[in-house]
Structure 1
Amino acid sequence: MTATPEADGDADRRREGGAGRRETPEERADRRWTDLLQELRVAQTGVQILFGFLLAVVFQPRFAELSDTDHTIYVVTVMLGSATAAALIGPVSYHRLLTGHRLKPETVTWASRLTVLGLGLLFCTMCSALLLILRVALHSALALWLVGGMALWFLACWLVFPAWALARTSPGRSRE
């Protein structure tokens, strides 16, 4: 007796632990790659705009008036912005260099990990940029408290709310 494609798909779903979609590993990798690209488009655009503004700051006449601490915060922010851009653009390089080598599932996994790293770096970049801006604008310790509050808001939006939604899903639901 020969196995039907449906039966093979059922076996794949059982191995993956859920009812899920009826897709081959290659189809799943293609879908996950497309989803990842959509996410990266949003993140990359924001990072590139932020990074562009950061690069322009050093050429403003008032930059020379900043304190040593603010200069240090600026340098750290630019370095974080550079690292963020590299991590969020990195998946494109992964895909381009590995295309045609039948490594799509592995490419998606590594690109996804690099994206998560990039989002962590983006969190740090945003907090650092906000600290610099608020220190210059407020000239007080209130800046640090405001950045702390905003950091908590970022964490809530990026981690807590998704974790809460995940916790509210039924235990039998498939991961993808």
Structure 2
Amino acid sequence: MNEDDDGAGRADEGRDETAEGRADRKWGDLIQEVRVAQTGVQILFGFLLTVAFTPVFRELGRVDHAIYVCTVVLGSVTTGALVAPVSFHRILSGRHIKPTAVVWASRLTVVGLVLLLATMTSALLLVLRVASQGGHWPWLVAAVVAWYVLCWFALPLWVRHRHTTPGARRPLDGPDKNTS
């Protein structure tokens, strides 16, 4: 990727900014986005860490213990991926390679979001297995995971495709200025 790349495979259009200014703007945007995900995963991870010390934990079966351990590990690696952009910034600050740092931090953020999806799925699976009666919990987990995938990945990718494909209609841009 070059420094004019926005991470989506094309240069920013309609902006009059230097490469350094673009990197600064993208860095600020990225950090704001990461803050939202970091807070959520850190709260979830904190709660997960306390579960092992509750009386109910001892009553869980082998499968539920395995799901719990998987969920804690996923929460930990998710936290690592979503905190990584901060480390990138701190370690690379002043090296005049911010565009490269932005690209790598952005990639780690996407990895963190995929891991967050896995963490949320695993946590939901554990909670619904333990808390619900009957066999409807797999359907609930599947529906929530489908919702996450739709909101976090499918819809943004669809919009990106619709607005970056040459000659694509852009119905959400509003009415054409040439028509009355």
**2:98 equivalent to 1:104:** yes
Is the CA contact (8 Å cut-off) linking 1:18 and 1:172 kept in structure 2? no
Map residues 1-176 of structure 1 onto 2, 5 A cutoff: 19-169=13-163, 171=165
Q: TM-score, normalised by structure 2?
A: 0.83
Amino acid at match of 2:70: V
Amino acid at match of 2:88: Y
In the TM superposition, residue 141 of structure 1 has moved relative to its aligned partner by 2.9
In the TM superposition, residue 169 of structure 1 has moved relative to its aligned partner by 2.7
* Distance change (3 Å), C-alpha of 1:170 and 1:96: closer
Separation (CA, whole Å) in 2 of partners of 1:67 and 1:139: 15
In the TM superposition, residue 17 of structure 1 has moved relative to its aligned partner by 5.7
Is the CA contact (8 Å cut-off) linking 1:47 and 1:84 kept in structure 2? yes
Structure showing greater radius of gyration is 1
Is the CA contact (8 Å cut-off) linking 1:73 and 1:132 kept in structure 2? yes
Separation (CA, whole Å) in 2 of partners of 1:33 and 1:172: 28
Describe the superposition over 1:56-110 as per-residue Cα deviations: whole angstroms up to 9, x where unpaired: 1111111000010000000000000000000000110011001011110110000
In structure 2, list runs of 5 or more residues that go unmatched. 5-9, 168-180
What is the aligned residue count?
A: 160
In the TM superposition, residue 140 of structure 1 has moved relative to its aligned partner by 3.5
* Distance change (3 Å), C-alpha of 1:105 and 1:17: closer
In the TM superposition, residue 145 of structure 1 has moved relative to its aligned partner by 1.6
> 1:4 maps to what in 2?
none
Separation (CA, whole Å) in 2 of partners of 1:99 and 1:170: 32
Describe the superposition over 1:10-62 as per-residue Cα deviations: whole angstroms up to 9, x where unpaired: xx8xxx66642111111110000000010011000001110011001111111
Q: The residue matched to 1:169 in structure 2 has which SS?
A: helix
Structure 1 runs (4+) deviating above 3 angstroms are 16-19, 170-173
In the TM superposition, residue 167 of structure 1 has moved relative to its aligned partner by 3.6
Separation (CA, whole Å) in 2 of partners of 1:17 and 1:59: 51
In structure 1, list runs of 5 or more residues that go unmatched. 1-11
Is the CA contact (8 Å cut-off) linking 1:47 and 1:122 kept in structure 2? yes
Q: The residue matched to 2:96 in structure 1 has which SS?
A: coil
* Distance change (3 Å), C-alpha of 1:19 and 1:92: closer
